[in-house]
Amino acid sequence: MSILIRRDTTVIIQGITGREAVNLTREGLDYGTKIVGGVTPGRAGRDVYGVPVYDCVRDITSRTRIDGSIITVPPRFTRDAVFEAIEAGVKLLVVVTERIPRGEVAQMVELARLRGARIIGPNCLGILSPDEAKMGGLGGPAVNVRRAFTKGPIGVMSRSGGMTTEIANTLSAAGLGQSTAVSIGGDAIIGSTYAELMPLFEEDADTKAIVIYSEPGGRMEAELADWVREHRSRLPIVAFMAGRFMDEMPGMRFGHAGTIVEGRADTTADKIERMKAAGISVAERIEDIPALVKERLKGH
Amino acid sequence: MRLYEYEAKALFARHGAPLLKGRVAKTPAEARDAAAEIGGPTVLKSQVLTGGRMKAGGVKFAETPPEAEVAATAILALEIKGQKPRGVLVEQRAPVAKEFFAAVTWDGRRKLPVVVFSDMGGIDIEEVAEKHPEHVSRTHLSTLLPFSPHRAKEAIAAVGISGDDLTRLTPIVATLIEVFLRYDLTLAEINPLGKLQDGRFLVLDGHVDLEGDARDKHAKLLADLGVGKDETREARPPTPFEIRGAQVDASDHRGVAGNVKEFDGDLGLIIGAGGGSLTLFDAIRKHGGRPANYCEIGGNPSVKKTCELTRLILSKPGVKKIAVMMNVVSNTRVDIVARGVIKGCIESGKKPAETIATFRIPGAWEDDGFKILRKYGVDYCDRKISMYEAAGRAVAKMKAA
């Protein structure tokens, strides 16, 4: 199976008439995703590749069940778009937009918690369950997706959208398909962290192992290490840590917004230590990941 | 983005937090005038974006205006951790009876703002939290409910403070919280928050970090505080090379050629995007390579933008070769990047085949891209070659050259 999205997941796109959103619509439809509507205020009555456009999310949810929304609107309108979808009863929000101040992200997260909704992102490429569906730009056009992603037992979570595809491609080349790949987002505060997605993979019988891509900044890796220890996870985890050079350059900005090391946050060396102590294997190079996964799967 | 102490204090003062009399001076003469205006003993503090000023000699005391002038002369000439001071803050000196700590920051795990308060201020709060946990309180705030000052009161009362101290501290901590929430700050700190011998409370030092992504949203505040639009406020100011990199990125809205950072190596890098750049930069260094720069290309940069970035990097003294590498791309078009870097080499008067150490960008439109690279005899890798191997190939070529 997969987590979060499947073939029958119904999806809308907020901001569907934007340049990037039009691409996402095309890619999603080509991959078989059920994109049943789009929202751009004032553009009701149009269509994007046959997908009808509405003014409000409720115009769609009042007629049909909507499982998820891809939100790709400019940063200053994003919070409102997310609130609109949550209040209309949508439970899965993929926020593609980047450069949203974290105070506004925190507000989205707090409302999602109140309403029992889940946010992926912001600043992410979305979710992809191979041969099922995809929400967001992950993997690009369907033809490119099929070259890099294959169905199988590995759950992938990554703070970098591009590296999600790189890792899926490496796994696929080694015969290790993916159950679901999630680009969780590159910001300091995101809707769903590794530890928050682990229970979903844990419940998915077809997922046998997890691969994560991590970066400097934040406490997300420490949180994952704690979760693994507290929950005695059945899933072996292999991690790759990028940006090790940043340990030597505090106060400089590289990579995603979330990689900025603030206060006494973990260095990459600290993060690696913590993960290893919790039984997570840490790969030195991307190409070492498949062998580590296979080795860990042997013990299970 | 960090504010200088004098800017942080100006921000607090706008919202009613009580400060000592003082102002920032750019010259020793201005410092003398400021001291004369204040009257009585003063303290002079170097305005740099780093801690440890006291230890470095960046804080001095003066009894008279001429003494303040002498102290300011020394402070203005003193570099602290590689930073020249922006000025010297001349402040009234007040007899402090006790020091407190108040800060608001983000709790990344709870994804909520947290107020950290302690009655043991002035020293390292992490150390206090470790050794005297009962002297540090943590109070989380809702981002949806309107802020109400009782949360500030609770944060203070939680470390055992009552009486006049509680009622006097509450509005100051409430102001700190309001400023944090209103301006998208990532840190608002008053340390020390001093209690004077006469019972009044004052902001003695302040630290404010504003979120980079919220700069546009608060452009007016930053203009009022005198923060320039081009000030990055990173650990070091941008070099002319980096400023030109930003200009290349701004010259064309298509795609990103962002975050160009200068290093002192000889291998030019055209790499992307966020995560790919971090991974590749590590790989180059692990192979013993010496990067001349860091950058993050992505989105779908135009031929012109990639060409300009290539020209900029090749113009850096000592750079003989460039490596063009990314993770498997889905939105960036391989053929467009290939065209851009080849054009950039030719316009720099260099042969692409000799200048491009290797090209490793697999993904969308790769067949067209590889065709162009073959035509110019440029070495390239498909997705079977890992990012790490490609980096090794580039470094080996540098060493052989």
**What does the alpha-carbon distance between residue A54 and residue A77 come to, in Å, rounded to a whole number?**
17
Cα atoms found within 13 Å of the Cα of residue A169, Cβ hemisphere only: 26
| Yes or no: domain B240-400 corresponds to CATH 1.10.10.10 | no
pLDDT of residue A221: 96
SS3 B258: strand
Strands A237-241 and A178-183: unpaired
pLDDT of residue B21: 95
**What does the alpha-carbon distance between residue B47 and residue B31 come to, in Å, rounded to a whole number?**
13
SS3 A218: coil
Task: Report chain B's mean pLDDT, rounded to a whole number.
Answer: 95
A41-68 confidence digits (pLDDT tens): 999 999 999 999 999 999 999 999 999 9
- Architecture of the domain made up of A10-298: 3-Layer(aba) Sandwich (3.40)
* Residue in A79, A59, A57 with CA at minimum distance from that of residue A69: A57
pLDDT band at B29 (very low <50, low <70, confident <90, very high): very high
* Ranges of each domain in chain A: 10-298
Chain A interface, best mutation among B327, B360, B388, by max A CB count within 10 A: B327
Check: CB of residue A26 under 8 Å from CB of residue A16: no
Of B108, B209, B273, the CB nearest to A162: B273
**What does the alpha-carbon distance between residue B225 and residue B11 come to, in Å, rounded to a whole number?**
8
Q: Which of A14-23, A194-203, A256-265 has the lowest mean pLDDT?
A: A256-265
Distances (CA, A) of B256 to A101, B209, B305: 20, 26, 8
Q: Looking at chain B from residue 163 to 192, which residues have their Cβ under 8 Å from any Cβ of chain A?
A: 181, 184, 186-187
pLDDT of residue A262: 60
**What does the alpha-carbon distance between residue A169 and residue A189 come to, in Å, rounded to a whole number?**
27
pLDDT of residue A263: 57
Query: Closest Cα of chain A to B182: distance in Å?
Result: 9
Under 8 Å CB-to-CB from A26, ≥6 apart: which residues?
A49, A141
pLDDT of residue B331: 84
Query: Closest Cα of chain A to B184: distance in Å?
Result: 6
Cross-chain Cβ contact A242/B108 below 8 Å: no
- Residue A231 designated active-site: no
**What does the alpha-carbon distance between residue B214 and residue A284 come to, in Å, rounded to a whole number?**
35
Its ipTM equals 0.96
**What does the alpha-carbon distance between residue B209 and residue B187 come to, in Å, rounded to a whole number?**
5
pLDDT of residue A265: 65
Residue A128 has pLDDT above 70, yes or no: yes
pLDDT band at A222 (very low <50, low <70, confident <90, very high): very high
pLDDT band at B185 (very low <50, low <70, confident <90, very high): very high
| Yes or no: domain B96-225 corresponds to CATH 3.40.605.10 | no
pTM over 0.80: yes
- A157: its two tokens: 């979570």
Inter-chain Cβ pairs, chain A and chain B, closer than 8 A: 174
* B21-92 topology per CATH: Dna Ligase; domain 1 (3.30.1490)
Fold identical between B96-225 and B240-400? no
* Ranges of each domain in chain B: 21-92, 96-225, 240-400
Residue B234 has pLDDT above 90, yes or no: no
